[in-house]
Structure 1
């Protein structure tokens, strides 16, 4: 089984930074408890507080995909509808 690293970049709309931050923080405990989660860290850009980055490590892509349909993620999507300017997900493999 190949481990998977996810780098997610989320940019909140300028008027919804605190909402997005709060909702991202709510994801931490349930996501860290998801099967296969090895690391799940949230970061906020020092120069652009609307930019957040999630750094995640998962035992496998399959377990990450299970996480992506978990109730906590569904609640996040509903709560932040219209509050996110951009979101990108990069699936990465550790090579060195």
Structure 2
């Protein structure tokens, strides 16, 4: 009789403990996957931002090179060159 009472209580309690443990592990996996997805999204946004800033710096250097060529050829004066350069750098 004592064995029946013991196993009648212990087995459901053990099953419940295993259930809770399994649920906790599954919630941990779900959270980890959600964090991974957020991190990948943030990294892709930062890559897009860095690509855009790289393109802007290349465009800026191209424009400054063109201005310098115009100044050296005598098409624009030193004063016009400085104004255009300041305008590019301030934007």
State the TM-score, normalized to the length of structure 1. Answer: 0.27
Considering fraction of residues, name the structure with more strand.
1
Larger radius of gyration: 2
Considering fraction of residues, name the structure with more helix.
2
